Amino acid sequence: MKGLRFFFVGFILSLPFWLGFNLSEARLENLFFSQFYLSSPEVVLAKVPLPEPKIDAKSFLVLQIDPDGSQKIILEKNSKAELPIASLTKLMTTVVASDNLPLSQKVKISQAAVSQEGAAGRLKVGEKIEVGELLKMSLVESSNDAAEALAETLGRNKFIEAMNEKADSLGLRSTQFSTPTGLEAEGNFSTARDLVSLAAFILKEHETLFMV
């Protein structure tokens, strides 16, 4: 992997993760998570000075990860603050789903899934959709009904339990999940630092999730 990878976690309303909308984002105006920035070789060679960014966010972390795995914090503010994470919850939802379900497995959509808030996905009760497609809907469209449908495959409570077990195994000590969608804020939180660690894990072990 060439160049440098940067992960940026902050909190703003205007640009939710992967352009996906979640109605609960209205509750946390400062939440933003971009994928990664691959530095331009031209910029590096020319050593063009970059202006100091002005970031009005409650919490963020900009981390440089070199090809050898070494890390360096570029910018940071309250990166250990525990805050509601809304649709970023779906990062862990898709990890758990991809760990436990074949991409080709078809999932029958329930009324409970369709009843989730938000228009993204537009799923219909009784239709059958492959896991791979539901993953795409969850990440690209931030579809709550797709995320809920994925959770129902293992049983909602068991799925959420698996999300928390995965967080614990990854050392995300300041992260807790109570929903597969991110709609319920109570008991569903993380930190900028933990989210960067989760994104780095996905990049290494579930790189295809960034390509759905």
Nearest-angstrom CA–CA distance, 133 and 4: 30
No. of helices (H) and no. of strands (E), the chain: 7, 8
Phi/psi class of residue 105: alpha, beta or left (left: φ > 0; alpha: ψ in -120 to 50)?
beta
178 catalytically annotated: no
Nearest-angstrom CA–CA distance, 164 and 152: 16
174 catalytically annotated: no
Give me the amino acid identity at 128: K
Q: Which residues contact 2 (CB under 8 A, 6 or more apart)?
A: 38, 67
Considering 59, 142, 143, 197, which one is annotated as catalytic?
A: 142
Considering 87, 138, 143, 197, which one is annotated as catalytic?
A: 87
Nearest-angstrom CA–CA distance, 113 and 39: 40
Give me the amino acid identity at 73: I
Nearest-angstrom CA–CA distance, 86 and 190: 10
Considering 24, 59, 90, 166, which one is annotated as catalytic?
A: 90
24 catalytically annotated: no
Report the catalytic residues.
87, 90, 142
